[in-house]
Structure 1
Amino acid sequence: MQVGGRRLIFDGGTGLHVLGQSLLRQMPLQAYLFFTHSHWDHIQGFPFFTPAFIKGNKFDIYGAIAPDGSTIEQRLNDQMLHPNFPVPLQIMQASLSFHNVKPGEPIQIDDITIDTGHLNHPGEAVGYRVNWRGGAAVYITDTEHYANKLDENVLRLCHNADIVIYDSTYTEAEYHSPKAPKYGWGHSTWQEAVKVAKAANVKTLVIYHHDPSHNDEFLDNVGQEASEQFPGAIMAREGLVLHVPVSSSLSESYSVSQSSI
């Protein structure tokens, strides 16, 4: 997200490498990285984030303390230790400042307020809501919905948001499959995403965190069905850029983009 002259980056999967290559034309860089959790698909791009190896760049890195007590700094460090990686995190020459997130407590960066909340995911995860000059964009991944009620933490983060990017990994049929149900896997469905969007009065719902077994045709069909149930629903795709309107005579919007699906 590009907000008020600041660059906010959420999670560090393989798309972080792609983003890093594009940012090499804009150095020196200052950016803020927010990790929802440290499962492999959300951190494996960090060791390949080229700007972090270049002196003069500056990154503030945020993440919650894991149930085992480890910080986001420890977990990013551990994935770069032998025999998993040839060089340690300490070889990065950029200035790296690490911050522990307390879910439920806001983060302030200049006039940008970032609300946080617990998500229902194995090993825990954090949801983020970015507020700036009356605009709001929400990033909710990974989370599993509850059987008989909507998650109050999710509803709080999503309330009246302009954009909600929501974990819609499965269809209801896949989630409840009698042969291979997905209970306890830590992910939700696009149908639950629609329920959240309606209940929270969301303007644009982004169907996100696609199951790797879903091809483009499958996702196109999901996108069509979702938009029929909620006209503001769209399908996340690589390179998608969305603009959030804000109330200011100085700036008319901030942007939300995706480096990869």
Structure 2
Amino acid sequence: MSRIENQFKVHFWGVRGSIPCPGPSTVRYGGNTSCVEMQVDGKHLIFDGGTGLHVLGQSLLPKMPIEAHIFFTHSHWDHMQGFPFFTPGFVKGNTFHIYGAIAPDGSTVEQRLNDQMLHPNFPVPLQIMQANLDFCNVIPGQSIQIDDITVETAPLNHPGEAVGYRVNWRGGTAVYVTDTEHFPDRLDENVLRLARDADILIYDSTYTDEEYHSPTRPKIGWGHSTWQEAIKVAKAANVKTLVIFHHDPAHDDDFLDRVGEEARQIFPRAIMAREGMELQVPISVSLSESFPVSKFSA
């Protein structure tokens, strides 16, 4: 078994919410919108298709033909605006399994991706893509099996609805929870269930508590949470590493540095999501995999 096939890695290609925000004040954390890739046992699992998906797509070109699984939390622009610019999707021979829940209006993820690529919004329709696109409807609360990888799902508290994902493989767990808004009087049971004992929890921390409860410009009801609430979830769910994610476009590098410092004072294993950051998820490896038979051959 190759080293790549025996790993569980999480790579961050886009860590922002709402709109891309490139510029000199966002260089350290990045300006692309949501896209996280998990490489699990040599398989590519991609979560959301914000503008970070374009950058991910460029990295996949030398590896084609490619097969990957793309999971959408929901269809707001910052989570799907990179899909029309996902170059491997236009190349015949590639295969992408695309997952998303049916929206409250009854539309599927295929219909919503199709609609954003119609005139007058975009010049090239979805049907131009030459890759094999296999669309799968997600029912929140049910699990998805990809060989021996289990992907759990749960509904999140967000306008228009959203889905959270938990990836389990060989005792390692990474959880992707964005976009979601916390409740004022209790922790969200759906989020806690996904986050339970996770090695890595990636959580929507768009705001600070001060911004969320601002007397002049409150963010209550906007569908997002705070880094302080993220820590409450991480502690309650016994999370090993918390990744503060979905940064507000108004938060520059210096602001996010301060958030990271404050968060680590309360939860030392909190880290700030940055473009290009890669985390390793610990897994259980059998003795035969740790010491291949060929190593002992005469």
Range into which the TM-score falls when normalised by the shorter chain: over 0.9
Distance apart, 1:23 and its partner CA: 0.6
Q: How does 1:224-239 map to 2 (within 5 A)?
A: 224-239=261-276
Q: CA RMSD in A?
A: 1.0
2:148 alignment counterpart? 111
Q: How does 1:20-59 map to 2 (within 5 A)?
A: 20-59=57-96
Structure 1: distance between partners of 2:201 and 2:282: 14
Segments ≥4 residues shifted beyond 3 Å:
none
Structure 1: distance between partners of 2:196 and 2:56: 29
Does residue 1:204 correspond to 2:241, yes or no?
yes
Write the letter of the residue equivalent to 2:154: G
- Deviation track 1:180-232 (CA, whole Å, cap 9, x = no partner) reads 00011000000000000000000000000000000000000000110110011
1:91 alignment counterpart? 128
Write the letter of the residue equivalent to 1:242: L
Write the letter of the residue equivalent to 1:187: H
* 2:106 maps to which of 58, 63, 69: 69
Distance apart, 1:121 and its partner CA: 0.1
* 1:183 maps to which of 214, 220, 242: 220
Structure 2: distance between partners of 1:246 and 1:38: 32
1:133 alignment counterpart? 170
2:259 alignment counterpart? 222
Name the SS of the counterpart of 2:254 in structure 1. helix
* 2:277 maps to which of 209, 217, 240: 240
Structure 1: distance between partners of 2:150 and 2:285: 16
Structure 2: distance between partners of 1:87 and 1:37: 22
In the superposition, the TM-score normalised over structure 2's length comes to 0.84
With CA pairs under 8 Å and 6+ residues apart, which has the higher RCO, 1 or 2? 2
* 1:10 maps to which of 29, 36, 47: 47
1:255 alignment counterpart? none
Structure 2: distance between partners of 1:115 and 1:232: 24
Distance apart, 1:4 and its partner CA: 1.2
Distance apart, 1:248 and its partner CA: 1.5
Name the SS of the counterpart of 2:92 in structure 1. coil
Larger radius of gyration: 2
Distance apart, 1:71 and its partner CA: 0.2
Distance apart, 1:87 and its partner CA: 1.1
Write the letter of the residue equivalent to 1:22: S
Name the SS of the counterpart of 2:176 in structure 1. strand
In the superposition, the TM-score normalised over structure 1's length comes to 0.96
- Deviation track 1:50-100 (CA, whole Å, cap 9, x = no partner) reads 000000000000000000000000000000000001011000000000000
Q: How many residues align?
A: 252
Percent identity between the two aligned chains: 77
Gaps of 5+ in 1: 252-261
